[in-house]
Structure 1
Amino acid sequence: MEKSNIINISDQSSSFIYRSTFNLVKSLGIEEKLSHILTAACLLIATFILLAFIDYLLRFFFNSIVTRLIKKTKSNWDNYLLENKVNVHLSRLILIGISQQLMPWVFVGFPSLITALDKFFTVLMIFAAYGLINGLLKTVRDILRSSRAFLDKPLDSYLQVLQIFLIFVVGTLVVSVLTGNSPWSFLVSLGAASAILMLVFKDTILGFVASIQVSANDSVRVGDWVEMPKYGVDGDVLQINLNNVRIQNWDKTIVTIPTHTLLSDSFKNYRGMQESGGRRMKRAILIKISTIRYLDSRKIENLKKIALLAPYIAQREEEIRKYNRENNIDQGIPVNGRRMTNIGLFRAYIKAYALDNPHIHQKLTMLVRQLAPTEHGLPLELYMFTKGTQWAFFEDVMSDTFDHLFAAIKYFDLEVFELPASDDLRHMLERKMG
């Protein structure tokens, strides 16, 4: 290395510092070429000590002073800055910027090395800037997530889209710095590789489109109860990302499915049920058909003692008497005219019981209906809604309702159909043999 190439900026202070240190080292009787190396080493050590001191000051300022001030404030947004390490990324960015300015002072006698170091620190600056911007984006996400208006929005999907864009920008700038070419030339070269990029990022692109459509159509939110039997999904949505959706099933297992399956496959969302304030109770009692019969006056009088049923029986008796009298019905045969049946009064009792039950929603659909008879009897179905959507509450109300009805059915001389058990067959054989 020639002397003319070692010091080429004589009018700058960096050149003065280098020459002074070089003359001091050379005065020790060391040859000129080795003196340049020792000069650079001494200045490098001094620079590292200075940078270590600056790093200590930055850490002390951000981690002690700024952190204490933030913790004293009542707002939450500055706490999110600390959680996402924005202060750490900012201190790194400042330290790298100072280092980039100091390196030419240290290696002023090595122009080619200065160029390489400048590129190196420029790349570090790009990565540090990415870390800072990424931390700020996460902070914005956390601030929006704390707001009720954005609580059920797929904010992670939006963040990941921005992160992918930032990574693309960072990659472009890094390649541009290392090659010395314009970023636009790199982008033009990517056009030829677009087909490969589409193949590599297929799932990401599908997830990005799906996230936008899911958000725009408001088909799924964080916190919704969704069910997809094909994927073993039956639980609450925990997170909607760009690539996948995390769902916690009721057995506390976590299922992860691709986001685009929310568009390609069907699923059931229970949000409407939860917002309505009622959860559907749809279950039938199988009545043994052979126990269905007309009621005589004595049985009707006994059933009038049921407080919930008495008003209905009185009204029906008046309607039946009026109809039979106006139509001159021969009441000697029960099938003539109109009469009350035990199944009809039991159905009326169930309806009255539901209307009197404070845990049954009175403003939503309430039906007690007969379904088509089967070989297992006549299904008498309860179709109504509980006044609450919590799982435990729903199960308690439904169980209490059917506990009561199974116990009350015998007062109507009705029986619930059930297949013969081993005890039934044994008792029947014992009676025949006895």
Structure 2
Amino acid sequence: MEFLNWADTFFHDLGFNKETVANLGLFTNIIVIIIIAYIIDFIAKKILTQAITTVANKTKTSFDDYLVNNNTAKYIAHLFPLYFIYLTVPVLLDKYSTSDKFLEKGLKIYIILLFLWIIRSVFRALRDYLKHKPRYKDKPIDSYIQVVTIVLWMFGVFSFVSILFNIKTITFLTAFGSISAIIILVFRDTILGFVASITVSVNDMVRIGDWITIDKFGADGDVIEINLATVKVRNFDNTTTTIPTYSLISDSFKNWRGMQNSDGRRIKRYILIKSSSVKFIQPEELNYYSKIQELTSYLNHRQTDIDNYNETNNIDKTLLLNGRNLTNLGLFRKYIMQYLQSHPGLNKEMMLMVRHLQPTEKGIPIEIYCFSKDKVWENYEHIMADIFDHIIASVKYFDLEIFEFNLSHQIKN
């Protein structure tokens, strides 16, 4: 380290006094060390970045590619000028006693920061690497990385305070424990988010890519990110809703993953039939309904059973109400059932039925309950609309009526 002595000689030859020579020499040597450290840092970054990039291009794994993208090589390269400063500063401070503690503390803090940056870049590379793995693509990796980062920075802050104020780590941690209540209050959302992230992951409640619906927040779309504090949902109108992570375990929500993984998507909708339009089928009307192909075989079989029952029990059929009879609503339900069973867009292996619901002042609800084969939203809506277009158009062929509000009557009143 003989080059550190040249400044003293230079300023002494210029005629400065001893104290001025010492101060100018210290300042000049610091500037020289900084310049040399910068040159070493520049060269190290170039060499190390190129070396890691070359290795990354030749290896099969993509993890090293993410290390390059997250500037890990640049942070590691800072270790070389740091080592140079580590060697030169003690020599410099040995001769110039002023500011020795300041430079020593600054160097220690920089060492801690540098290691924090290196570790953070490695974890960020790990995060990006795992996100592109099918096995971890739907896991809340961001939450785990953020927790690790927070813990690292907490230890970093402890170390900074200990170095700056010459406080022992044990003493500082003891004082930290005494103010833990305040810390819990300040970091409440972070702590709750961490607990929620672990709960969501362990119980497999939500994955990235799941379609969820949360009415409270107006969210209805795909989960695109789960981190420590928030969950981001890209709604189907291309807006983004940000939800507190803790709300996933404190509030109710609907996850459509089960539907997406099943063999069909449910269709559950009803139409309202006017009760006044329901009637028994007259014998002379049977020929008309027999022309409906979906009902031909059913009517032949069903009417035979009804006639045999009425004859066996000596039913007086002069009054249509007596005995067993067919109704236009019953035939309509049977027609819908036959139509659904022959529809190519429905999964016949899953539940398929047409049923009555509780009659209301608006009429008799006839509900269609079935599952479409295609679960894609657009195709699902097309299949459902196609089915109900046909059903609504078929109502009049059974001499039935669909309930509608009579607006003109309401206006007159």
**TM-score, reference length from structure 1:** 0.87
3-state DSSP of counterpart to 1:152: coil
* Contact 2:229 2:245 (8 Å CA) reproduced: yes
Matched position secondary structure for 1:357: coil
- The structural deviation recorded for 1:24 is 5.2
Q: How many residues align?
A: 412
Q: CA deviation at 1:325?
A: 3.3
2:187 corresponds, among 201, 205, 209, to: 201
Give runs of aligned pairs for residues 377-396 of structure 1, distance below 5 A: 377-396=363-382
SS at 2:326's partner residue? Answer: coil
Per-residue Cα deviation, 1:293-325 (whole angstroms, up to 9, x for no partner): 222344322323333222322332232233233
1:47 to 30, 33, 44: 33
Partner in structure 2 of residue 7 of structure 1: none
Report runs of 4+ in structure 1 exceeding 6 Å deviation. Answer: 423-426
- Partner residue in 2 for 1:285: 271
Matched, 1:301 2:287: yes
Q: Report how far residue 170 of structure 1 moved.
A: 0.5
Distance 2:320 2:350 in 1: 37
1:395 partner amino acid: E
Question: What is the match of residue 334 of structure 1?
Answer: 320
Matches within 5 A, 1:100-249: 100-249=86-235
- Seen in structure 2, the aligned counterparts of structure 1 residues 30 and 227 have a Cα distance that, compared at 3 Å, is same
Structure 1 stretches of 5 or more lacking a match? 1-13, 427-434
Q: What letter corresponds to residue 155 of structure 1 in structure 2? A: I
- The partner residue of 1:252 within 230, 238, 246 is 238
Q: Which residue of 2 aligns with 1:320?
A: 306
- Are the counterparts in 1 of residues 221 and 234 from structure 2 also a CA contact under 8 Å? yes
Cα contact 2:41–2:80 (8 A) shared by 1: no
Instruction: Tell me the equivalent position of 2:392.
Output: 406
Q: Distance in 2 between matches of 1:59 and 1:425?
A: 82
Are the equivalent residues in 2 in contact too, given 1:289–1:378 (CA < 8 A)?
A: yes
State the distance in 2 between where 1:319 and 1:100 align.
103
Distance in 2 (CA, whole Å) between partners of 1:37 and 1:421 is 97
Unaligned runs of 5+ in 2: none
1:57 aligned onto 2:43:
yes
Task: Return the letter of the residue paired with 1:185.
Answer: T
Alignment RMSD, CA only? 2.4
Instruction: Name the structure 1 match of 2:335.
Output: 349
SS in 2 for 1:280: strand
Question: What SS does the aligned partner of 1:329 have?
Answer: coil
Query: C-alpha displacement at 1:63, in angstroms?
Result: 3.7
Aligned AA for 1:171? V
Residue number in structure 1 paired with 2:357: 371
**Are the counterparts in 2 of residues 47 and 106 from structure 1 also a CA contact under 8 Å?**
no
| 1:430 corresponds to | none
Q: Render the CA deviation track for 1:93-130: whole Å, top value 9, x for unaligned.
A: 43333333332344442134233212101101111111
Distance 1:228 1:424 in 2: 37
With the length of structure 2 as denominator, give the TM-score of the two structures. Answer: 0.91
How far is the alpha carbon of 1:242 from its aligned partner? 1.4
In structure 2, do the counterparts of structure 1 residues 46 and 219 end up closer, same or farther at CA, with 3 Å as the change threshold? same
The letter for the 1-side match of 2:270 is A
Q: Give the 3-state SS of the residue equivalent to 1:89 in structure 2.
A: helix
Indicate conservation of the 8 Å contact 1:145/1:151, yes or no. yes
User: SS state of the match for residue 308, structure 1?
Assistant: helix
* Letter matched to residue 196 of structure 2: A
